[in-house]
Amino acid sequence: MFDFPLGADVSFYQRKVDMRGAMQDGVEFIGIRWGQRDGRGGYTDFRARENWEAAKEAGVLRLMYWVWDQRAGHTASAHMGGIRRFSRTYDGELPPWADLELLPLDWDEFHDWLIMLESWASVKPDIYTGSWAMEKYAPLPLWLKDYNFCLTGYNDIGPSVYGPLKDLNPNVVCWQQTSSWFVNWVNT
């Protein structure tokens, strides 16, 4: 069993989120989806600012996550431009997450973006992904070992670490457990 702080990720998919209710349920941090690609054409999360401010007001530790999405040819600079259009500075209490789950993937572009993200946030980002995604991206570059990971688990036991990601032996700092956590503080 893994012993990680309880957190949640939220986006427009959850609609309205009661951050005080989340805290009462034991949530210590909230990952808030800011967007993906270059943030244009509907790719900035329309609930991000509301969720960001509500979490701050409730005293929940915050981090932003941005989905890496090269399907329309978006580069590292385009992704970073979307983030900067959303906010010129980063005031989250926890490192931002680089959400990695979509194909195609150019490792060099992704790495360039991580470096840009670190420069913007003044802290190294964590990589938010799962073993299921990393299998699609194999072989994995060794520089990934320089980053912390937040992994999906989709179970009640802990993060699922297998395949190429297990071979990398990542430093896992949190996991997403979504199989049986039903809450009354979402879509309020």
pLDDT at 155: 67
Could you tell me where the DSSP H helices lie in 87-125?
107-121
CATH number of 7-176: 3.20.20.80
Please tell me the number of Cα atoms within 13 Å of 126 on its side-chain side.
21
**Predicted pLDDT of residue 56:** 96
As given in the structure block, the two tokens for residue 148 are 């912390």
Q: Which of the residue ranges 27-31, 77-81, 92-96 would you say has the lowest mean pLDDT?
A: 27-31
Distance CA 69, CA 102 (A): 6
Question: In the predicted model, what is the mean pLDDT of residues 48-75?
Answer: 95
Domain ranges in the chain are: 7-176
pTM, full prediction? 0.89
pLDDT-derived band at 177, boundaries 50, 70, 90: low
pLDDT at 144 (0 to 100): 97
Which range among 23-27, 36-40, 103-107, 124-128 shows the weakest confidence by mean pLDDT?
23-27
Average pLDDT over residues 42-53: 92
Residue 104, preceding peptide bond in cis (omega within 30° of 0): yes
Q: Is the peptide bond before 141 cis (omega within 30 degrees of 0)?
A: no
pLDDT tops 90 at residue 186:
no
How many CB atoms are closer than 10 A to CB 101? 17
Model confidence at 1, pLDDT cuts 50, 70, 90, reads: very low
Other Cβ atoms closer than 10 A to 64: 27
- How many beta carbons lie within 10 A of that of residue 86, not counting itself? 17
Q: What is the pLDDT of residue 184?
A: 56
**Residue 30: both structure tokens together:** 């909230």
pLDDT in tens, 126-165: 999 999 999 999 999 999 999 999 988 776 677 788 999 9
Mean pLDDT along residues 53-80: 95
State how far the Cα of 114 lies from the Cα of 108, in Å rounded to an integer.
10
- Please give the average per-residue pLDDT across 49-60, as a whole number: 94
Task: With beta carbons less than 8 A apart as the criterion, state whether 147 and 114 touch.
Answer: yes
Measure the CA angle with vertex 116, ends 121 and 173; round to 5°: 60
The predicted model gives 17-29 an average pLDDT of 83
Q: In what order do the strands lie in the sheet with 7-10?
A: 7-10, 29-36, 61-67, 97-99, 126-129, 148-152, 171-176
Backbone Cα Rg of the chain:
16
Average pLDDT over residues 159-188: 75
d(Cα 123, Cα 101) in Å, to the nearest integer?
Answer: 22
User: What Å distances lie between residue 93 and 67, 83, 134, CA to CA?
Assistant: 19, 17, 27
